[in-house]
Structure 1
């Protein structure tokens, strides 16, 4: 069944929310978000002593007349927040009901909507084996373009970690990196560390299906790797399933540790969970969103 986007009712529930980054990120142009960085804007911030070469237009003449001391008025700089929507397009995302990929697209649509209505710059990026130029979307009217972009993506790639590494080293402004992925790549934790080293503020939505978390399998089976096509024959005994659980737990813990060490936010998401519940209950509680 084709992905049908997000309902108007869900978007209406998200109108009041905004992203709440933990740190200031440089932006390409002025936007609607106030930054602690001092600059020239309409919002007064503080006074400082005049030094030769300063712009006399910002000299406070009243203080100069009363105290015979030269002070300049400084202002808060208005900036847009770069919001990077990183959509895992590896073939493993096609698994589940609904698929992990459709769950990721619904979350990306909601997150992108919040950024666009807040005046942030939303950069949608597909993580797959092909490099594609990322162009920012701005304003509520760009939401239809975001939906079309999401509808035309397909889970047919591989090498998630390499795609994250390429993004980390791309010539893009640092900002809020919202990573929607199943993380099924052994090198993924290392790629997360590269992402953090580029000053991105990472929010990882780790999307997994119930079958992956707790497989109910028995008997002789052939397992096929969705990305490489390689097959392996197994007998699903209790011991085999225990070893699978052990390895999955170790991989998830490695991802959580890497995310924590770069100051990121980690959230495990089931593929069948309503996207608005993830945002309103989980991301709001963790401080990623505010009202």
Structure 2
């Protein structure tokens, strides 16, 4: 029987995740997931594609969302009161313009020091009404696209076997930065075909395959790029028809509720893989 074995939300886009035993599922994904984003001087969102040092930042958000605490090696931790009412500014996520609430000079100085480049921190405003793409539309905060990213341990296990065939070591799951990790599916990439899923009192709907980028080549513990893997190996067996490689699946939230590690994962509708 398949079940949830990991739940992770990422308070600041591109930064380290926070693993939890239980999480509220909102229409935009796990509570507090990618509600903050670091932007450069042109107000374009920073990601690990160009700023791998984001991985060194370990953010935590209070349950009420009113405080954000930031940790990174070599700098003093910063405890922020979250601003949800300040002036809005235009910010860009992968070419699309949204609104953000600037979180002040202390946060800007802190991230500028950690990333060694002028930066500011913004929060998604309460009126954020983004519509995400995919087979089932939904919403999300500053995630690249859909609300939830799901990967199974069987899928990672197949990658490990492919890497071993090339004499390469296994990679940790955090290279793929999933929100939900599922165990108990025998076949790798079962998440490609699981088009409707019930977990506890929540329901997820298939949106699209996750097309992977250079973030998967960043060591999440060190914030350094570590060569061409896993993209080189994935290109040998997971090429997507529209280009790139597919690994994991994106879902929209059909019914909100509470998710817990240990919850049973029930697939209520199956479909064909789009790969």
TM over 0.5: no
- Identify, as 1 or 2, the structure richer in helix: 1
- Identify, as 1 or 2, the structure richer in strand: 2
